[in-house]
Structure 1
Amino acid sequence: MTDFAGDPVRIAILQMTSGIDPHANAASIRQGASEAARDGAKMLFTPEMSLLLDRDRKRAAPNIVTEGQNAAIQGLRNVASAAGIWIALGSAPVLREDGRWANRSLLFAPDGQIAARYDKIHMFDVDLASGESWRESNAYAPGEEVVTTPTPLGLLGLTICYDIRFPALFDELGRRRCDAIATPAAFTVPTGRAHWHLMQRARAVEASAWVIAAAQAGRHGDGRETYGHSLVVDPWGEVVLDMGEGEGLGFAEIDLAVTAKVRAQLPSLANKREIPRSKA
């Protein structure tokens, strides 16, 4: 069980407009990590597809290599070590052993080691009224494991973007008593306007946990446009940081005493019961 005593932990969120050049994207993260550490942050959170955002899969393919062969990923291990900061890389496309791609979150510890990996479970296969059509599963294989790991924020649960629409995943993270949940994203503008704030706040309330949502923002090199509005939401559902539109670095204080207070007032996790399933 997490010890809720102690001072608030300062975190940083890097809101990005990642493009089709992984080296340029990695340079932005390096700069963000350096600035975050200099300003006292213990952890830096980046969006989904931080290292490469390219809907042209043929063009992207040469950059999709295994985790161990990815120079940008190896470089970020060095950045975390040099800056003495945790880096929660929202995700990067990596080649799996079976030849398919994974949309993978990586958590780098301050010693440069990879503390946790999470492959996105829910694939974004949709046709929107705006005319946008996405088939993530055409290239990416879904993950199969719920991932939590100890951090300076207590127990951190890892999710990615479209996962936010599936309460069962967050129910499990709540059952595991996560203190914070990372929800990095590259939300489309139509779905962001309609549902982004609503769902992030709902998941925080349901899990009685902090939700940290680093987002892509603006017009990208592959032609897509993303919503932005990176958020930090406390366990009561209050938005304590909204970064709006555009690139930048934002900061927030994560106070686990707030978590303890909320869970004492509304012990929904302790009161949870199994719902009988229909026999039909």
Structure 2
Amino acid sequence: MTVFVAAAVQMRSSTDVAENVAAMEALVRDAAGCGATYVQTPEMTGALMRDRAALRAALRPEVDDLVARKAGSLASELGITLHVGSTAIALEGGKVANRALLFGPGGERISTYDKIHMFDVDLDNGESWRESATYEPGERSIVAELPFARLGLAVCYDLRFPHLFRAQALAGAEILSVPAAFTRQTGEAHWHVLLRARAVENGAFVVAAAQGGRHADGRETYGHSLIVDPWGRILAEADGDAPGVITATIDTAQVAEARAKIPNLKNTRDFTVHVTPAAEQAQAAE
């Protein structure tokens, strides 16, 4: 059993990386000042840019990335575990990673995770997104072993793929992370229900730091950063889409309690799917 304070930082990242790093620093300091020892920032903390040429021009390899450098120094100075929900990182060959970065209280990089599922969608309000045109999808799910809990890493659109979180829970994850930049349309419809479902079906805490508001690149994100307990109860929620910090006390004993009450992780069974052909159905009815 471990008890600690977790924080989700809600941002409104612009197209200016330096500006966003300064905003991240101020909010992370606020979170640490509230007693948080685990602090999560949203997807694309470094910048939200629809202009691919401008994005590529602003990119750096991880070793030189402004967000990564500041996050490592902040984690060390404040003695916290700092989870950069994601930022764009230059890869060899011209591709880009949508990469989460996890830093320990000594400033060391504990782990990274590259977003697996690409947001390639056409919404009914005219919004169209093709992440795969810019980003290289990751191939590994990550569960980080931290002193206070096992943390499953995910990013935004990953939320819609429950098997990812089930695999992490089966690997021992007690906290599931979903830093995001959900669109306002999809957030209003699905954000709360999906996050609470991932918590309930896996008996895990969920921490989801979000982008919120109208951004410099023209997009609008939903906000409403959430921290949810293993029974699906909302422990903390950001007020709308304004930048800010939410905190909640996490007691990992509640994970074991929830999984003992509803032991679906133990009760899961392998099965096959059989699609009954129409002709077979007709024969059965005769």
Q: Same fold (TM over 0.5)?
A: yes
State the alpha-carbon separation in 2 of the partners of residues 100 and 266 from structure 1. Answer: 43
User: Contact 1:209 / 1:259 at 8 angstroms: preserved in 2?
Assistant: yes
Q: 1:273 aligns with which of 260, 269, 273?
A: 269
User: Contact 2:180 / 2:208 at 8 angstroms: preserved in 1?
Assistant: yes
Partner of 1:36: 31
State the alpha-carbon separation in 2 of the partners of residues 228 and 119 from structure 1. Answer: 22
Moved more, 45-54 or 64-73: 64-73
Partner of 1:227: 222
Query: What is the letter of the counterpart of residue 77 of structure 2?
Result: A
Partner of 2:284: none
Partner of 1:264: 260
User: Contact 1:47 / 1:185 at 8 angstroms: preserved in 2?
Assistant: yes
Instruction: Provide Cα deviations, 1:184-218, integer angstroms capped at 9, x if missing partner.
Output: 00000110011000100111111110010100000
State the alpha-carbon separation in 1 of the partners of residues 273 and 176 from structure 2. Answer: 28
SS in 2 for 1:98: helix
Partner of 1:130: 125
Partner of 2:161: 166
User: Contact 2:67 / 2:87 at 8 angstroms: preserved in 1?
Assistant: no
Aligned runs of 1:111-260 on 2, under 5 Å? 111-245=106-240, 246-260=242-256
Moved more, 270-279 or 104-113: 270-279
**1:125 CA displacement:** 0.3
User: Contact 1:174 / 1:206 at 8 angstroms: preserved in 2?
Assistant: no
User: Contact 2:82 / 2:102 at 8 angstroms: preserved in 1?
Assistant: yes
**Alignment gaps of 5+ in structure 2:** 277-286
**1:33 CA displacement:** 2.1
Q: Structure 2 length as normaliser, TM-score?
A: 0.93
State the alpha-carbon separation in 2 of the partners of residues 124 and 240 from structure 1. Answer: 28
Partner of 2:64: 69
User: Contact 2:21 / 2:66 at 8 angstroms: preserved in 1?
Assistant: no
SS in 1 for 2:75: helix
Residue 101 (structure 2) pairs with residue 106 (structure 1): yes
Query: What is the letter of the counterpart of residue 138 of structure 2?
Result: G
User: Contact 1:153 / 1:254 at 8 angstroms: preserved in 2?
Assistant: no
Q: Structure 1 length as normaliser, TM-score?
A: 0.95
State the alpha-carbon separation in 1 of the partners of residues 48 and 135 from structure 2. Answer: 14
Moved more, 33-42 or 164-173: 33-42
The CA RMSD over aligned residues, in Å, is: 1.4
Alignment length (residue pairs): 275
Structure possessing the higher radius of gyration over alpha carbons = 2
**1:249 CA displacement:** 1.1
**1:150 CA displacement:** 1.4
**1:279 CA displacement:** 8.6
Residue 81 (structure 2) pairs with residue 86 (structure 1): yes
User: Contact 1:240 / 1:252 at 8 angstroms: preserved in 2?
Assistant: yes
User: Contact 1:13 / 1:44 at 8 angstroms: preserved in 2?
Assistant: yes
Partner of 2:280: none
State the alpha-carbon separation in 2 of the partners of residues 279 and 199 from structure 1. Answer: 28
Distance 1:183 1:153, change over 3 A: farther
Distance 1:277 1:153, change over 3 A: farther
State the alpha-carbon separation in 1 of the partners of residues 33 and 98 from structure 2. Answer: 30
State the alpha-carbon separation in 1 of the partners of residues 36 and 256 from structure 2. Answer: 22
Stretches of 4+ moved more than 6 A in 1? none
Query: What is the letter of the counterpart of residue 259 of structure 1?
Result: V
State the alpha-carbon separation in 2 of the partners of residues 121 and 174 from structure 1. Answer: 17
User: Contact 2:14 / 2:215 at 8 angstroms: preserved in 1?
Assistant: yes
- Among the aligned pairs, what percent are the same residue? 45
Query: What is the letter of the counterpart of residue 181 of structure 1?
Result: L
